[in-house]
Structure 1
Amino acid sequence: MDHPVKPVQTLTLCMGSSCFSKGNNLNAAAIENFIRENELTETISIQGCLCEQQCKNGPNIRIGDELIQGVQPGMLHDLLAHKIRR
């Protein structure tokens, strides 16, 4: 019996200097912890980018094609629980 392959969802963190200093330096570790704690390592791909060209609205995170702005570490867990399909 074949098991269906779960779709991989891409999560991209802007690591440009503005987003990094505004909170994505902390968000990166929190995202990794969330994925590990929820056993999503097989279904979530994390990558970084240098700039989303939206510095004034950062820190910016992209989940799939959706750009989410102003993501602070305190809101990250609820955001990921809501946005990431299990």
Structure 2
Amino acid sequence: MVLKYHRDWQANGAETIARVREERPQDYLKVVASILPKDINLRRSPYEDMTDAELNAAIMKYVGDFEDRKDDVPGEGSAFTEH
């Protein structure tokens, strides 16, 4: 049964979509709305527009901040090691 439905869709799907869009736009919009994600994340990363050099500088700043505070945290030495 699924194979028959698939074949029918392959043969007539595009035409059916066009006909529904023209004759029953309300149903067309319902179908479109039903296949779209319910929650679209439009938030952008604050790092998205940064160049590689800017990202590297920001990372090095944070590494430096952690290195500056390593003596404030109990334990042995730095959490960062050089390779």
The TM-score range, normalised by the shorter chain, is under 0.3
TM-score (norm 2): 0.26
Greater RCO (CA < 8 Å, at least 6 residues apart): 1
Decide which structure has the larger Cα Rg and report it. 2
More helix by share: 2
TM-score (norm 1): 0.25
More strand by share: 1
